[in-house]
């Protein structure tokens, strides 16, 4: 039974084309379980060697005029933006060509702007659901406290509203310790223990170690220099997107690097319910709370129609795993996961519709693409975590 009205849209999206993240650890802080500000679960000392470097010149970071909007970055309560140790870590070293790592490129800015335009067609032009100009009462925007995700949010809003705004766009962030928009093992001791074990296990798997040794030999890298497929993939994909040449000898390994990188992510986050719950449970709780508050008519949700979260691929993949729709393919740049809340105009029954990369998805355990809310809640029930429960679990030494 397809419902006939929509209550609000909740969209989850991640950053686009970026200058690759640093090849070595600088900072004690991390995002998405990565040391030194990376979006990956990498231990201190992991390196991407010289053959995997490219020239990243400042011209790749020019800001298109049509992506500019009036915006302000705040904490979750509307106060000053928190300190950003992840971003500070990027500024320690410049890459070849003179740019800092982890920055959103012009291509990435355009990709998010284009995504915003697609959302505009869906929710303003074809279906007059949102108003034609930005209203802070109608739209909630939250990002991780990293410039590329903040800029991604800005560019998407610029495309969605064509730079038309009734209000300054507030982009909300939080500090590193309390971030739950990615698997945060800096703020969760137990998650650090669990993921550390999974990471160590990866380098004991014969197939992975054999492929890494073969790639090291092809690139002429000493065996004591430790590689990992996730960083190799980051570099290869970023260079492909920007037309930069790759290192000789690596092209034949492209499909292997892609496959092994995904295998590593699945091994790290999908090892057990506990791994997945600590990685993404608090964020899933926020998404369900937004839905429930809207249905209850909570004062904070009365005028709210759209929640935008600017996150990371290491947020999106655990979300897809939790929903049972991860296709074991790394999300492309500008990937987006959208949850729509609908309500039947006669029975008032609530439904959730999920789409990924523009395609509606049938969630395992749901009776249809329009999933009754009670079924959707049941599917996620063993993964949801309130912040209080999350903090209690995180302070445990082990399971």
The domain that contains 231 carries what CATH number? 3.40.50.1240
Indicate whether 35 pLDDT > 70.
Answer: no
Percent of the chain surpassing pLDDT 90: 70
Q: pLDDT by residue (tens digit) across 84-115?
A: 998 999 889 888 899 998 899 999 999 999 99
CA–CA distance from 281 to each of 60, 182, 291, 314 (Å)? 36, 10, 16, 14
Containing domain of residue 210, as a range?
A: 1-399
* pLDDT at residue 47 is higher than 50: no
Decide which of 44 and 252 is more confident: 252
What pLDDT is stored for residue 378 in this prediction? 98
Of residues 134 and 251, more confidence is placed in 134
Judged against a pLDDT cut of 90, whether residue 52 lies above it is answered with no
CB 107 within 8 A of CB 17: yes
Q: What number is the average pLDDT over the span 251-260? A: 94
Report how many domains make up the chain.
1
pLDDT at 7: 55
> Does residue 37 surpass a pLDDT of 60?
no
pLDDT averaged over every residue in the chain: 87
pLDDT at 254 over 80: yes
Residue 301: predicted pLDDT? 72
Lowest mean pLDDT among 29-38, 67-76, 168-177, 308-317: 29-38
Q: What is the pLDDT of residue 20?
A: 62
Indicate whether 249 pLDDT > 90. Answer: no
Task: Round to whole Å and give the CA distance between 124 and 140.
Answer: 17
| pLDDT for res 46 | 37
| pLDDT value at 205 more than 90 | yes
Query: What does the pLDDT read at residue 95?
Result: 87
Could you give the CA distance from residue 97 to residue 133 in angstroms, rounded to a whole number?
Answer: 39
At residue 219, the pLDDT reads 83
Q: Binning pLDDT at 50, 70 and 90, where does residue 49 land?
A: low
**Is residue 117 pLDDT above 90, yes or no?**
yes
- Looking at residue 42, its pLDDT comes to 29
| Mean predicted confidence (pLDDT) in 17-32 | 39
pLDDT at position 218: 87
Distance, CA of 291 to CA of 371 (rounded, Å): 13
Lowest mean pLDDT among 49-58, 118-127, 201-210, 238-247: 49-58
Q: Tell me the pLDDT band of 40, cut-offs 50, 70 and 90.
A: very low
Dihedral angle sign, alpha carbons of residues 316, 319, 321, 323: negative
Rounded mean pLDDT of 123-137? 94
Is pLDDT at 43 greater than 90 in this prediction?
no
């Amino acid at each position: 039974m397809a419902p006939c009205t929509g209550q609000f849209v909740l969209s989850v999206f991640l950053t686009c084309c970026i200058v690759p993240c640093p090849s070595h650890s600088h900072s004690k802080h991390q995002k998405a379980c990565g040391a030194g500000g990376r979006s990956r679960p990498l231990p201190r000392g992991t390196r991407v060697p010289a053959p995997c470097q490219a020239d990243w010149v400042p011209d790749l970071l020019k800001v298109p005029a049509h992506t500019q909007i009036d915006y302000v970055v705040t904490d979750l309560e509307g106060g000053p933006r928190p300190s950003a140790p992840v971003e500070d870590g990027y500024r320690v070293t410049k890459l070849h060509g003179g740019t800092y790592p982890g920055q959103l490129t012009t291509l990435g800015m355009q990709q998010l702007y284009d995504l915003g335009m697609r959302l505009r067609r869906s929710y303003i032009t074809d279906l007059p659901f949102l108003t034609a100009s930005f209203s802070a009462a109608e739209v909630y925007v939250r990002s991780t406290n990293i410039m590329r995700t903040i800029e991604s949010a800005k560019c998407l809003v610029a495309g969605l509203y064509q730079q038309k705004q009734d209000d300054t766009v507030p982009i909300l962030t939080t500090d590193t310790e309390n971030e739950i928009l990615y698997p945060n093992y800096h703020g969760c001791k137990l998650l650090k223990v669990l993921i550390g074990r999974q990471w160590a296990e990866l380098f004991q798997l014969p197939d992975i170690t054999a492929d890494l040794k073969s790639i090291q030999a092809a690139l002429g890298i000493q065996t004591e220099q430790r590689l990992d497929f996730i960083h190799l993939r980051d570099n290869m994909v970023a260079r492909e997107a920007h037309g930069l040449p790759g290192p000789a000898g690596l092209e034949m390994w492209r499909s292997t690097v892609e496959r092994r990188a995904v295998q590593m992510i699945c091994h790290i986050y999908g090892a057990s319910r506990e791994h997945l719950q600590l990685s993404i449970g608090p964020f899933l709780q926020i998404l369900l709370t937004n839905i429930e508050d809207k249905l209850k008519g909570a004062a904070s949700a009365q005028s709210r129609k759209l929640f935008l979260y600017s996150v990371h691929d290491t947020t999106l993949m655990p979300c897809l795993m939790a929903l049972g729709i991860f296709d074991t393919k790394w999300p492309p740049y500008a990937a987006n996961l959208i949850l729509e809340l609908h309500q039947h105009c006669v029975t008032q029954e609530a439904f959730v519709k999920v789409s990924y990369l523009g395609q509606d998805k049938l969630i395992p355990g749901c009776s249809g693409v329009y999933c009754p809310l009670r079924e959707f809640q049941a599917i996620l029930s063993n993964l949801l975590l309130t912040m209080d429960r999350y903090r209690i679990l995180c302070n445990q030494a082990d399971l």
